[in-house]
Structure 1
Amino acid sequence: MFFTQDVTGYVVGMGKRNYLIEGVSGSGKTSVCHELRRRGYHALDGDRELIPDETRLQQSSLAEAGPEGSVERAAWMHGQHVWDVDKVRSQAASKGSEMSFFCGGSRNYADVIHLFDAVFVLDVDQETLQRRLALRDRDAFGGRTEEQEYILTLHKTEQDIPAFGTVIDGTAALDEVVDQILEHCL
């Protein structure tokens, strides 16, 4: 907990600091989350811990998505990936640790971005991204050819990430990536 003096001179508590770790699929957000946890920081894996209990994917018909194996279907599925706004708000309001890191991409980040003290965008070059996507399990998003094609388009256009934030070189060794992030937080 941090303390400061208000205009009357009284010491008041300031909430913990919350940070968003963003980037295109394959930029290293999940790896950063695991490394932050290994170092003892409170880090949430948005792909697993912040999704709604009933995803829009379950509520919507796959028939809307386009034919199996199409880029249109990959784009539709990608668009279904949102975070539960109430879960994010609850975690951001929690005072359990000095800093919390919210790691992952969400199509509705605009609904929660105001909750973060800073945004970090992991940036990778196209070659690194292609190499990482090639290693993905076929059942994970980005593991299929059409999904990889869609992700590479998102990478080129940068339409999938916040237009602001501190850019972090996601091609560096994982320790260096996390060190860069922490340098901006401490």
Structure 2
Amino acid sequence: MSAGPGVWGDPLPGRVLITGMSGTGKSSVIRELARRGFRAVDTDTDGWSEWTTDAEGQPDWVWREAPMRDLLAEEARPLFVCGCKSNQGALYGGFDRVVLLSAPADVLLARVQARTDNPYGQTPGERALILHHLETVEPLLRAGADLELDSGRLSVAALADALEALATAREG
């Protein structure tokens, strides 16, 4: 059972970014952390992200940097943020930890096909793009992460437990 935020009455250190490919469970784990009473933000909304055009002229769903900087400046800790955006590296300095959720390709594809709360991944083209990103984007995320958790093997509750422990660990 979770003790919840602020159990010892002193400030908690953690601002944690939870990132990873589509289907790794970012949204599920952020909902679980919110259910446990933590400040938990899913950035896959118009309030936190916006469509732009990348250098190749392709649409790109990126973080709105000003609201994200304001969020990261808030006093409340711990703070959990989830998302995977092309400009997230510009904000890594605002996080205490960056955690990569990963899973095998077959798990990711099965999850995106089965989910009902997000239409992304339903078409063959989107599933092919997920596999492409697994090869090209995930290694970049891995290089910038402090920790990688295998969401193909761990339950949502176990992932949330690990993230909660990471965010509430006392600096010593």
Q: Does the alignment reach a TM-score above 0.5?
A: yes
Q: Counterparts of 2:133 and 2:99 in 1: how far apart (Å)?
A: 17
What is the Cα-based RMSD across aligned positions, in Å?
2.7
When residues 138 and 94 of structure 1 are mapped into structure 2, their CA distance, relative to the original with a 3 A threshold, is: closer
Give, in whole Å, the separation in 1 of the partners of 2:148 and 2:114: 24
Give the structure 2 partner of residue 163 of structure 1: 143
Matched with 1:50 is 48
Figure out how many residues of one structure are paired with residues of the other and give that number.
156
- Could you tell me which amino acid in structure 1 is paired with residue 119 of structure 2? A
Give the CA deviation at 1:35: 0.5
2:38 aligned with 1:17: no
Q: Once the 2 structures are TM-superposed, how far is the Cα of residue 26 of structure 1 from its aligned partner?
A: 1.0
Distance in 1 between residues matched to 2:48 and 2:117, nearest whole Å: 23
Is the CA contact (8 Å cut-off) linking 2:13 and 2:167 kept in structure 1? no
The higher radius of gyration belongs to 1
- Asked which structure has the greater RCO (Cα within 8 Å, sep 6+), the reply is 2
Residue 128 in structure 1 maps to residue 107 in structure 2: yes
Q: 1:137, CA displacement in angstroms? A: 5.0
**Aligned position for 2:87:** 108
Counterpart amino acid of residue 72 in structure 2: A
Report Cα offsets for 1:107-155 as digits up to 9, x if no partner: 1011111110000000101221121122145972222110111101211
Pick closer, same or farther for the CA change 1:139–1:99 going to 2, 3 Å.
closer
CA contact (8 A) 1:138 1:144 kept: no
Aligned mates of 1:127, 1:104 — CA distance in 2: 21
Give 1:19's aligned amino acid: V
Q: Please show how residues 37-186 of structure 1 align to structure 2 within 5 Å.
A: 37-48=34-45, 49-52=47-50, 55-56=51-52, 76-77=58-59, 80-95=60-75, 97-137=76-116, 140-157=119-136, 158-159=138-139, 161-165=141-145, 166-171=147-152, 172-186=154-168
State the match for 2:3 in structure 1.
Answer: none
Structure 1's unaligned 5+ residue stretches are 3-12, 66-75
Q: Which runs of 5+ in 2 are unaligned?
A: 1-5
TM-score by length of 2: 0.79
